[in-house]
Structure 1
Amino acid sequence: MRQLITLNEIPDGLLDLEADELTTMLSGTTLVHLPGRRREPLFITVLLHGNEITGWQALRGMLRKFQHKELPRSLSFLVGNVSAAAEGARHLPGQPDYNRIWDGRGGSEQQMMSEVVEQMRQRNVFASIDVHNNTGRNPHYGCVNLLEQSHLHLATLFSRTVVYFTRPAEVQSIAMSKICPAVTVECGQPGEPHGVEHAQQFLESCLHLSEIPSHPVAHGDVDLFHTVATVKIPGAVRFGFGDSDQGMDSLDLCFADDLDQLNFQEIPAGTSFGVVCSDRVDHIEVWSEAGEDVGDRFFEVEDGELRTKRAVMPSMLTRDEEVIRQDCLCYLMERMDYYD
């Protein structure tokens, strides 16, 4: 039975630990509440995916600055999957994805996250930030789940590039967006110093906010994109990339070696994703926000290549085969004008 650990102070020595050392002090998912001058707390989650360490590094850096000072605002932070972090894994075998368990349905991990949300509701949470990395080459960007001004202002404080999505519905930011402005920030690949620096600056800026604006975000301050579909690889499909050691004969689908360079590029219809190596009917699955199979709208096989059928913008394309199996190949986005 997974149980939430709740603390009202930072254990001595915790901020000296790297992400993969946290299990020496924390026995599981831990929620820490700290007082500050403004009562309503900022809520930050890190390490929901154990191999995405930028959030912990940024949070640790910020907390070190305030070790002997009063926080400008109360702060609550959740340190997520510490056992996966110890292994450098997104999640361990047999564990759920800790950013897919926030809908309150299911087992002990889901109930644990429901308890987190309820604690933050009772504390009249000011805003929520979930810090992530990704495995492909992507710019830094923010994600929102409601097209409300406070959510957009929070996201643009991190980046002018903002992605709006409503699926998957079990993520932290959707749960928290029901009770406060909420954003997910994507900080590039783990271990990049710029990602840590950018995330820490953003967290500190939010900690100093007295309020989040409610007036409209200016036209020139946001590039807004809508995630319209998720691309997955069926479990039975054998896939690789251009430099795959498996050899083309053993694959059903061989993606271009530099596929992740297409992230956040508005690519035209007819763009090749890779070579189809077998006569398998369903090489990929494409699911809309409504849960409909929309593969035929977005892809087709032409001259032995898997090609886009319409202009799209991918995000989170990755060459990490484990992440693809655990999550997805990518998301497909379309530019949107909030003011329309």
Structure 2
Amino acid sequence: RCFKEPFDDEPGYLAAEILETLKRYKPESLIDMHNTSGSGPSFAVAIYEDPQHDALTELFTKRLIVTHLRLGALMEVTEYLCPTVTIECGGRLDESAHQIAWEGLNRYFRLESVLAGQESQESLEVLTNPVRLELKDDCRLRYGEKLSEESDLCLLPSIEQLNSGITVKDTQLGWVATDDLKAVFSSKNSREECVVNELVYIKDGGLFAKRDLKLFMITNNPEIAKMDCLFYAVRDCGSEVVA
């Protein structure tokens, strides 16, 4: 799933082979399909927004995230070949995710032109430059109803529910064993500003949302949360979080 060089191991060899195949066949467009580890609604991700990327997105979903982040995704290295979007169909255990994938692929293969766009009564929601709330390497994470002696951060077991809708200001996310946010979290926006204090705050040991936010990619899998991030976030209006 990582298409960054160097391609010097088995996953790297496969990534290089996929890229060479794409160069050879020169597709009209490219869909990179995934599901998320946590339950949540579908969305698309692209590094550009224009009518072609909008059209590809709307074959599957009505939410497009336009990101500045460069993490080695396929779309980052194939845009020079053709319009590319990543489709997150929903949670891996969500039955609706399978339906979204199936219906979207049917539209993709049956339409005469997938880049022209189709008439729709529902407008496309565009979210711009999400930030990642990441954990410091030495943070001990658990999910539950309270901190334990073996944890620095405890998140609510129901936190995945915040993948849908708006997480309103002062919503509790969990508990923290310190009053120093930056000892536990890190987060930077596209301007390289630290925005941890714009996302969360600590009060009486509890961890709360600092403002109204739209959150996504929340997982209750501690290994994924530590290896990747706790969540992605934009402001409730869909714009980037700034300091």
TM-score between both structures, scaled by the size of structure 2: 0.84
Please name the residue that 2:154 is paired with: 254
Aligned pairs (5 A) from 1:1-340: 98=1, 101-105=2-6, 107-108=8-9, 109-110=11-12, 112-214=14-116, 220-243=122-145, 248-278=148-178, 282-334=183-235, 335-336=237-238
Judging changes above 3 Å, is the alpha-carbon distance between structure 1 residues 225 and 219 closer, same or farther for their aligned structure 2 residues? Answer: farther
The CA deviation at 1:214 is 4.8
SS in 1 for 2:99: helix
Question: 1:267-315, CA deviations, whole angstroms, 9 ceiling, x for partnerless residues?
Answer: 2332222112245651222232355432123222222222222221110
Partner of 1:20: none
Compare relative contact order (CA 8 Å, sep 6+) and give the higher one, 1 or 2. 2
Distance (whole Å) between structure 2 residues aligned to residue 187 and residue 216 of structure 1: 20
Q: Offset of 1:177 from its aligned partner? A: 2.4
How far the C-alpha of 1:129 sits from its partner, in A, is 1.1
Q: Is the 8 A contact 2:46 2:65 kept in 1?
A: yes
Q: What whole-Å deviation, never above 9, does each CA across 1:226-266 have from its counterpart, x for those lacking one?
A: 2421011112111212257xx62221111122111111322
Corresponding residue number in structure 2 for 1:60: none
CA distance in 2, matches of 1:275, 1:179: 46
Give the distance between the partners of 2:56 and 2:101, measured in 1 at CA: 13
Aligned to 1:130, the other structure's residue is in SS state strand
Hey, what's the Cα distance between the residues in 1 that align with 2:167 and 2:14?
A: 41
Question: Which shows bigger deviation, 320-329 or 279-288?
Answer: 279-288
Judge conservation of contact 1:229–1:287 (CA < 8 Å) in 2.
yes
* Change in CA separation of 1:116 and 1:106 when aligned onto 2, cut-off 3 Å: closer
Secondary structure at the residue paired with 1:248?
coil
Equivalent-residue separation in structure 1 for 2:127 and 2:19 (angstroms): 27
1:299–1:197 distance in 2 versus 1, CA, 3 Å? closer
The structure that has the greater radius of gyration is 1
Rounded Cα–Cα distance in structure 1 between residues aligned with 2:188 and 2:200: 12
Distance 2:96 2:118 in 1: 29
What percent identity do the matched residue pairs reach? Answer: 20
Q: Give, in whole Å, the separation in 2 of the partners of 1:309 and 1:264.
A: 18
Partners in 2 of 1:336 and 1:324 — Cα distance?
A: 23
What is the CA–CA distance in structure 2 between the aligned matches of 1:304 and 1:336, rounded to whole Å? 29
Q: 1:295 to 1:102 in 2, by over 3 A?
A: same
Q: Deviations over 1:122-180 (max 9, x none)?
A: 32211111111112221122222211110111001101122222313310122222321
Q: How far apart are the structure 2 equivalents of 1:194 and 1:230?
A: 26
**TM-score with structure 1 length normalisation?**
0.62
Partner AA of 1:200 in structure 2: W
Q: 1:217 to 1:197 in 2, by over 3 A?
A: closer
Superposition deviation, residue 192 in structure 1: 4.0
Matched residue type, 1:251:
S
CA distance in 2, matches of 1:110, 1:291: 29
Q: Deviations over 1:168-205 (max 9, x none)?
A: 33101222223212121112222444322321221122
The separation in 2 between residues aligned to 1:336 and 1:293, in whole angstroms, is 19
Number of residues of Structure 1 aligned to a counterpart in Structure 2: 236
SS across alignment from 1:288: coil
